[in-house]
Amino acid sequence: MPVRLIESLATTAPLAEIFSDHSVLRAMLDFEMALARAEARLNIIPQSAADAIAQAAKAGDFDGATLAGAALRAGTPAIPFVKALTERVRASDSAAAGYVHWGATSQDLCDTALVLLLRQTQSLLESDLDRLEQALFRLAEQHKDTVMLGRTLLQAAPPITFGLKAAGWLGAVSRSHRRLENGFQHSLVLQFGGASGTLAALGEHGLAVAQSLATELRLTLPDAPWHTHRDRFAELVCTCGILCGSLGKIARDISLLMQNEIAEAAEPSGAGRGGSSTMPHKSNPVGCTITLAAAARVPSLVSSFLSSMVQEHERAAGGWQAEWSIISDVVGATGLAVASMAEVADGLTVDAGQMRENIGATRGSIFAERAMMLLGHKLGRDTAHQLLEEAVRRSVEQKRHLSEVLGQMKEVKDRLGPDDLRDLEKPEQYLGSADEFRKRLLASSRRKKSGGKE
């Protein structure tokens, strides 16, 4: 199913297909068929009824638009869906029609169908996350010695390496990947409780049917039905929110590095990518833009889901009904953000020469801290700080390098030798533990692949 035009910047084609009417109907039918098979296996309904239900369970025979309209009057798509399925079964076997949806309730059907859809999304998200992590790992290794400006509050700061920056991005993505795996693991559980969550309609066979149904659907059987306990879905939704935030941070960094006056990195280009409708010279950060849009949308969706968690007693009025669209929107936006950043990272161009030029353009002012620490041992930190403030002021006003200005200040000449001043503005000599931090971040991401701990 193609992405609808209004969703073109909100999801991917594969995720749109997973949440399409046909796919939703298929998941709902899978639940009903599995329930009938489980109950027939336990001799609760006739095998002939299970066979008739399976025969009628063809998603293409159901009209999603009609069911959607009826859902507005029923308060759930389950009621018109079960009615439509029952009628199709009755057309071939009137006796079997009475066993459709046997012992289940509407929320059992809808929740489990959603779980089945989420299981399909997991492989898509994790595949793109793997691709993104591999690309960031490569960047962190390739640019371990590529020096660039550190930037704090959008101002030039002492140097770092691009390898460390990429490793920092990788660390955040890797941590979210682990959270996402846990979120899916906890969410992919069967919902089956009947009217009040006790399976009373099935008598002494309730737990046996539940276990058989979970086995049929390849889902975990929880300790008890969870009709109004939405913490599992909340964990997954919140994890998506955290992941989108981390992806948005990466996208913000890269889009800023792509500014013409910075020009240190560039997204991959190609036909139809990043152009402007009016300015032929432009190459816009489209992958970053799409990711930032997701990072802007998802927090409010997460908040909406958390608000919907306050559900009354054994069945909610409004809270549960809010969830389908919220979860599909969150997963769609997250999947698009991950896919977009995987493409960006995979083809990112890094201009190491421009990074060094931008360091040079500061005329050494970013090394004021280094000079202050050298002088601080001899003058005291406060005195050294005041001296460097004056030196930087002169450097900026006179457009001269900081080392040159310092070399003409008597307080400095008496305490720092020519070698100190000559090496002051060499970025490679003021990186501190940058590479150790980079290596630690990479090692942590590798441990994730092998199932280890942080």
Over residues 271-283, the pLDDT tens digits come to 555 554 454 454 7
| φ, ψ of residue 156 in degrees (nearest 5) | -60, 135
* Alpha-carbon span 14 to 8, nearest angstrom: 12
**Are 291 and 178 in a shared domain?**
yes
**Are 132 and 279 in a shared domain?**
yes
CATH number at residue 348: 1.20.200.10
Contact by Cβ (8 Å): 33, 54:
yes
CA atoms in the 13 A half-sphere facing the CB of 307 = 9
| φ, ψ of residue 350 in degrees (nearest 5) | -115, 125
Q: What angle do CA 98, 102, 105 make, to 5 degrees?
A: 125
pLDDT band at 295; cut points 50, 70, 90: very high
**Residue 263: predicted pLDDT:** 96
* Helix ranges (DSSP H) in 76-161: 78-92, 94-97, 106-142
Has residue 182 been placed in a domain? yes
**Are 383 and 330 in a shared domain?**
no
Judge whether residue 24 has pLDDT over 80: yes
| Kind and range of the H or E run holding 148 | strand 147-152
DSSP state of 100: T
CATH number at residue 369: 1.10.40.30
**Are 86 and 183 in a shared domain?**
no
Judge whether residue 418 has pLDDT over 90: no
Which one, of 183, 190, 180, 181, lies nearest residue 219 by Cα? 190
**Are 83 and 150 in a shared domain?**
no
Contact by Cβ (8 Å): 387, 412:
yes
Mean pLDDT over residues 176-193, rounded? 97
**Residue 273: predicted pLDDT:** 55
Whole-structure pTM value: 0.93
Has residue 276 been placed in a domain? yes
Has residue 109 been placed in a domain? no
Contacts made by residues 378-383, CB under 8 angstroms, sequence distance 24+: 378/415, 379/411, 379/415
For 242, the 3-state DSSP assignment is helix
* Alpha-carbon span 340 to 273, nearest angstrom: 12
* Helix ranges (DSSP H) in 218-322: 231-257, 286-308
Has residue 69 been placed in a domain? yes
Judge whether residue 377 has pLDDT over 90: no
Mean pLDDT over residues 324-329, rounded? 96
**Residue 271: predicted pLDDT:** 54
Exposure string (b/e) for 100-122, b if CB count within 10 Å is 16 or more? bbbbbbbbbbbbbbbbbbbbebb
**Are 258 and 384 in a shared domain?**
no
CATH number at residue 10: 1.10.275.10
Other beta carbons within 10 Å of 141: 14
**Residue 435: predicted pLDDT:** 97
**Are 54 and 124 in a shared domain?**
no
Domain assignment of residue 48, given as a range: 1-104+192-218
Mean pLDDT over residues 405-420, rounded? 87
For 241-269, what is each residue's pLDDT tens digit? 999 999 999 999 999 999 999 999 999 97
DSSP state of 367: G
**Residue 452: predicted pLDDT:** 44
**Are 24 and 94 in a shared domain?**
yes
For 156-173, what is each residue's pLDDT tens digit? 999 999 999 999 999 999
Mean pLDDT over residues 371-394, rounded? 91
Among 12-21, 223-232, 375-384, the range scoring the smallest mean pLDDT is 375-384
**Residue 277: predicted pLDDT:** 44
Q: CA 156 → CA 167, 384, 402, 428, distances in Å?
A: 20, 20, 14, 16
Mean pLDDT over residues 346-350, rounded? 96
The DSSP result for 371-406, as a single string, is HHHHHHHHH-HHHHHHHHHHHHHHHHHHT--HHHHH
* Alpha-carbon span 212 to 231, nearest angstrom: 24
Judge whether residue 334 has pLDDT over 70: yes
* Alpha-carbon span 128 to 132, nearest angstrom: 6
Has residue 110 been placed in a domain? no
Mean pLDDT over residues 433-438, rounded? 98
Judge whether residue 451 has pLDDT over 60: no
Name the amino acid, one letter, at 32: E
Residue 372 in tokens: 């202050």
**Are 153 and 63 in a shared domain?**
no
Has residue 112 been placed in a domain? no
Domain count, the chain: 3
**Percent of the chain scoring above 70 in pLDDT:** 95
Residue 65 in tokens: 């638009």
**Residue 94: predicted pLDDT:** 96
Rama region for 337: left / alpha / beta (φ>0; ψ in -120 to 50; rest): alpha
**Are 53 and 74 in a shared domain?**
yes
DSSP state of 270: B
Mean pLDDT over residues 202-214, rounded? 97
| Kind and range of the H or E run holding 70 | helix 64-74
DSSP state of 246: H
**Percent of the chain scoring above 90 in pLDDT:** 87
**Are 19 and 124 in a shared domain?**
no
For 30-86, what is each residue's pLDDT tens digit? 999 999 999 999 999 999 999 999 999 999 999 999 999 999 999 999 999 999 999
Question: Which is the catalytic residue, given 123, 276, 307, 325?
Answer: 276
Active site residue 88: no
Q: Report the residue count for the chain.
A: 454
Which residue's entry shows tokens 């009025």? 317
Active site residue 403: no
**Are 173 and 237 in a shared domain?**
yes
The contacts of residue 97 (CB under 8 Å, 6+ apart) are: 52, 86, 87, 89, 90
pLDDT band at 444; cut points 50, 70, 90: very high
* Alpha-carbon span 305 to 299, nearest angstrom: 10
Question: Which is the catalytic residue, given 119, 151, 175, 315?
Answer: 315
Judge whether residue 23 has pLDDT over 70: yes
Instruction: Give me the helix-helix angle, 323-346 and 106-142, nearest 10°.
Output: 20
Mean pLDDT in the chain?
Answer: 93
